[in-house]
């Protein structure tokens, strides 16, 4: 399939949106190469023929698990609903959402307005059954991966608690002690 088939003039005439996200503030501060590579997707959009390119990076340091607000994601959804977006570019398509509700909602919207998804693996058209299947699998794998990570972290915290090594935050004015919590 040629680029012209996957990215027709009607798609290229709308804006490309580069969605940049890292899950935690620590990742933002330490994983600068990941962020730099995500911003480089602007050049990928240009290479595909997009003239109008917007970058959404409001969600740096915010998880896509569905537990926190993501103003950038909300803006992306609004632009998709308005029919302004020809393609969403991201490092990995599964980085857009790590929960099924957000992922499938976004996939449905992109299919309705014929917006493409572009990541390092290729160009996807959510209105085509094979592309939709592949994107659905990427989303399901991402959601599964998040569940596994959560379970591992919870198991590790429980193991620490059983050994008496779990340290949790104490309210302001209190001091942590191995034996008990003291009022400072």
pLDDT tens for the chain, residues 1 to 184 = 445 568 999 999 999 999 987 766 777 677 788 888 888 999 999 999 999 999 998 877 676 666 668 888 889 889 988 999 999 998 887 777 766 677 777 777 776 778 898 988 899 888 888 887 887 777 677 677 767 877 888 888 888 888 888 877 878 888 777 666 555 5
User: How far apart are alpha carbons 141 and 99 in whole angstroms?
Assistant: 10
pTM confidence score = 0.71
How much is the pLDDT for 1? 45
User: How far apart are alpha carbons 36 and 170 in whole angstroms?
Assistant: 37
- Please give the CATH topology (third level) of the domain spanning 3-144: Rossmann fold (3.40.50)
How much is the pLDDT for 52? 97
Query: Is residue 85 helix, strand or coil?
Result: strand
Residue 23 appears among annotated catalytic residues: yes
Phi and psi at residue 59, to the nearest 5°: -100, 15
How much is the pLDDT for 67? 62
Which residue among the candidates 23, 63, 142, 177 is catalytic per the annotation?
23
DSSP 81: H
User: How far apart are alpha carbons 89 and 41 in whole angstroms?
Assistant: 7
User: How far apart are alpha carbons 36 and 1 in whole angstroms?
Assistant: 30
Kindly tell me the burial class for residue 16, based on how many C-beta atoms sit within 10 Å of its own C-beta (0-12, 13-18, 19 or more). buried
How much is the pLDDT for 2? 44
User: How far apart are alpha carbons 73 and 19 in whole angstroms?
Assistant: 8
């Amino acid at each position: 399939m040629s680029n012209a088939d996957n990215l027709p003039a009607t798609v290229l005439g709308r804006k490309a949106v580069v969605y940049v996200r890292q899950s935690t503030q620590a990742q933002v501060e330490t994983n600068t190469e990941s962020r730099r590579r995500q911003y480089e997707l602007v050049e990928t959009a240009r290479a595909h023929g997009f003239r109008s390119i917007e970058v959404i990076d409001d969600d740096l340091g915010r998880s896509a698990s569905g537990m926190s607000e993501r103003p950038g994601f909300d803006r992306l959804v609004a632009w998709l609903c308005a029919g302004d977006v020809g393609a969403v570019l991201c490092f990995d398509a599964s980085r857009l959402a790590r929960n099924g509700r957000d992922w499938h909602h976004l996939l449905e919207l992109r299919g309705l307005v014929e917006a493409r998804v572009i990541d390092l693996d290729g160009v996807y058209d959510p209105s085509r059954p094979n592309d939709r299947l592949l994107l659905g699998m990427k989303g399901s794998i991402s959601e599964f991966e998040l569940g596994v990570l959560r379970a591992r972290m919870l198991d590790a915290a429980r193991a620490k608690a059983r050994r008496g090594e779990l340290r949790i935050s104490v309210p302001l004015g209190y001091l942590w002690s191995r034996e008990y919590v003291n009022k400072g």
